[in-house]
Each structure stands twice: as structure tokens, then as C-alpha cells.
């Protein structure tokens, strides 16, 4: 084997990325746009004093996640703990990153999923790309993200989107394809247009499945928070990252616990919104 020259795959990719970074006219505005989104969320959360935001989050969980008393009490205690440990600011930043990544994933992912559901050719083409996006180690996305978007929150969001978007696309596609033929036929037989069929029948029928995908996406985005902290995306992840660097078990555990609490809240909330209110 030693006689065979290895393919210069790494060089090619470097060259390609180098070439791409020239396209400042694309990445400049994109960076700005994502930056605005993050700041928007940050600003929004900043409006409320911590105690009010805390109460709002507890209220939302109670309202959307099936009015479970136990869960609500847990969320209340968890958020109080985060506040008490001094991670409130970090948590807000993390929420801003996760929500930005989530919103971008939904805005791109749902239409992609719809497109995929309409044509088997498109499905066949996109599926391997999604597999690629999900199986490539998440760290790898950090490198081009830095190349295109520099250091900070924005590349963190970009890397999160790439890593977290596939479930939304997949589940949207799946949800629409799973609608029983007869129901589609019923909608067509009454003379629905393509859009009427989509918005009046397919999307409502697929809603639960799509929400399961969005739930997955949010969870994956949250899991990227720690990884993205390596390229300067601030928040709870940074606290964990620094603790690892300093071999600070206690601090790392605190920050990690905060992430877990946020994860549980986001998970129950998105699941709750997805579940049909009518049983």
C-alpha cells in the first residue's frame, strides 16, 4: 500500500473551502442576518427580569405540556437552581442560539420535507445528503463554519443548523407520506388545489410527526451547544468547555446540569405543542 499515493482529498476540500470563502457577498449578509436573529432573541429575553421570565417559562410548560403538576414543580425548581448558581445569563444565551438554530432549521427544513414528499426522485437525492449531515462527526462542521463565518455565535448557529436540521426534513417528508391515500383522494375528489390539499389536509394530518421532528431538531441543536462553544459560541456550553479545560469537576457538573434542565424544558414544551390537544 505504501507505493500508492493517497488521494489529496484534504487538499481538494481545503481548496474548495478557500474558494468559497471568497464569496464574501453571500456570507457577509448571511452572517449579519443570523447575528440579528440571535440578538433579537437575546433582546427579547432581556426585556423580562429573570423572575418574570422564569415564571413565564414555568407557565408555558404547565400550559403546553399537559398541565402536569410534577413537571411544573420540577421546572420551577430547576430554573431557580440555574438562577441560584449564576448561570441565568448563560442560559438565556444558550436559549437564543438553540432557538435561532431551531427557527432556521424549521424555515428551511419543513419546505424541504414537503418538496421531498412530493417526488420520489427528490427524496432519493436528499436522503443520502441527510445521512451524511447526521453521521459526520459534529466537530467537523466547526471548521468550515469558522472559515465562512469567523468566530462567535453565528458559526455556532450554522454548525447547529447543519447538524440539527435533518430530523425536521425527514419527519416532514415521512408525516406527509404517511397520510392515508383515501384521505388524500377525498381532498382531491372535492376539487382541492395543490395548496389547499397541502395546507388543509396534508400538513394538519402530518402535524404530530412534524412536531416530533422539530423536537428532535431542538434537542440536537442543544447538544451542539457544548461543541459550538469551542468556536466561541457563548452560553452554558462555554461554562462546560472551560470546566473541562481546568479539570473543574464541580463547575462542569453544575453547567451540565443546567443544560439538562433546559433540555427537559425544551423537550416537554415541543412535545406538548406537537401532541393533539384532543385525546
Partner 1 sequence: MAKIQVEDLTKVFGKRPSRAIKLLEQGKSKDEILEETGCTVGVNRTSFSVEAGEIFVIMGLSGSGKSTLVRLLNRLIDPTEGSVWVDGDDLARMDDKGLRKIRREKMSMVFQQFGLFPFRTILDNVAYGLEIQGLEEEEKKKKADEALQLVGLGGYGNMYPDELSGGMQQRVGLARALAADTDILLMDEAFSALDPLIRKEMQDELLELQGRMKKTIVFITHDLDEALRLGDRITIMKDGRIVQIGTPEDILQHPADDYVAKFVEDVDRSKVFTAEAVMKRPEVLTIDKDGPRVALQRMKKEGISSLYVTNKDRTLLGIVHADEVSDLVEQGSEDIRSVLHEDVPTVQKDTVVKEMIELLTYKNTPVAVIDEENKIVGIVVRGSVMALLSGKEVSAVE
By CB under 8 A, name the binding residues for partner 1: 180, 182-183, 185-193, 196, 200-201, 204-205, 207, 276, 278
Count Cβ atoms below 10 Å from residue 95 Cβ, excluding itself.
24
Map residue 180 onto helix, strand or coil.
Answer: coil
CB of 107 to partner 1, least distance (A): 23
CB of 181 to partner 1, least distance (A): 9
> Which is closer to partner 1, CB of 70 or CB of 180?
180
> Which is closer to partner 1, CB of 184 or CB of 263?
184
CB of 57 to partner 1, least distance (A): 28
Q: Is residue 155 exposed (0-12), middle (13-18) or buried (19+ Cβ within 10 Å)? A: buried
C-alpha cell at position 177: 407520506
Distances (CA, A) of 259 to 3, 39, 216, 253, 256: 50, 20, 16, 10, 5
- For helices 138-149 and 153-177, the axis angle rounded to 10 degrees is 120
Please state, in angstroms and rounded to a whole number, the distance separating the CA atoms of residues 103 and 236.
20
CB of 202 to partner 1, least distance (A): 11
CB of 171 to partner 1, least distance (A): 17
Q: How far apart are the first and last CA of the chain?
A: 63
Q: Do 108 and 158 form a contact (C-beta atoms < 8 A)? A: no
Question: Which of 104, 229, 111 shows the shortest CA–CA distance to 173?
Answer: 111
> Which is closer to partner 1, CB of 67 or CB of 200?
200
> Which is closer to partner 1, CB of 32 or CB of 185?
185
CB of 183 to partner 1, least distance (A): 5
Q: Do 214 and 90 form a contact (C-beta atoms < 8 A)? A: no
Q: Is 137 left (phi over 0), alpha (psi -120 to 50) or beta?
A: beta
> Which is closer to partner 1, CB of 202 or CB of 217?
202
> Which is closer to partner 1, CB of 176 or CB of 258?
176
CB of 192 to partner 1, least distance (A): 5
> Which is closer to partner 1, CB of 9 or CB of 189?
189
Amino acid at each position: 500500500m505504501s507505493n500508492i499515493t493517497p488521494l489529496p482529498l484534504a487538499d481538494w476540500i481545503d481548496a474548495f473551502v478557500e474558494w468559497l470563502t471568497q464569496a464574501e457577498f453571500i456570507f457577509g449578509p448571511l452572517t449579519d442576518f443570523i447575528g440579528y436573529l440571535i440578538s433579537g432573541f437575546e433582546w427579547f429575553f432581556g426585556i423580562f427580569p429573570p423572575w418574570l421570565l422564569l415564571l413565564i417559562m414555568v407557565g408555558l410548560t404547565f400550559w403546553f405540556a399537559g398541565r402536569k403538576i410534577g413537571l411544573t414543580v420540577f421546572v420551577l425548581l430547576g430554573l431557580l437552581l440555574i438562577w441560584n448558581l449564576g448561570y441565568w445569563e448563560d442560559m438565556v444565551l444558550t436559549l437564543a442560539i438553540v432557538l435561532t438554530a431551531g427557527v432556521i432549521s424549521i424555515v428551511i427544513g419543513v419546505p424541504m420535507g414537503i418538496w421531498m414528499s412530493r417526488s420520489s426522485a427528490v427524496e432519493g437525492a436528499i436522503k443520502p445528503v441527510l445521512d451524511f449531515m447526521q453521521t459526520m462527526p459534529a466537530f467537523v462542521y466547526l471548521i468550515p463554519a469558522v472559515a465562512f463565518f469567523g468566530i462567535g455565535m453565528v458559526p455556532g448557529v450554522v454548525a447547529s443548523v447543519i447538524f440539527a436540521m435533518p430530523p425536521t426534513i425527514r419527519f416532514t417528508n415521512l408525516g406527509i407520506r404517511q397520510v392515508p391515500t383515501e384521505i388524500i383522494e377525498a381532498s382531491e375528489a372535492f376539487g382541492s388545489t395543490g395548496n389547499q390539499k397541502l395546507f388543509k389536509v396534508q400538513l394538519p394530518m402530518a402535524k404530530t410527526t412534524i412536531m416530533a421532528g422539530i423536537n428532535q431538531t431542538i434537542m440536537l441543536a442543544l447538544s451542539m451547544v457544548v461543541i459550538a462553544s469551542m468556536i466561541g459560541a457563548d452560553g452554558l456550553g462555554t461554562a462546560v468547555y472551560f470546566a473541562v479545560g481546568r479539570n473543574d469537576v464541580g463547575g462542569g457538573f453544575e453547567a451540565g446540569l443546567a443544560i439538562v434542565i433546559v433540555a427537559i424544558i425544551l423537550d416537554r414544551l415541543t412535545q406538548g405543542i406537537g401532541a393533539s390537544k384532543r385525546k
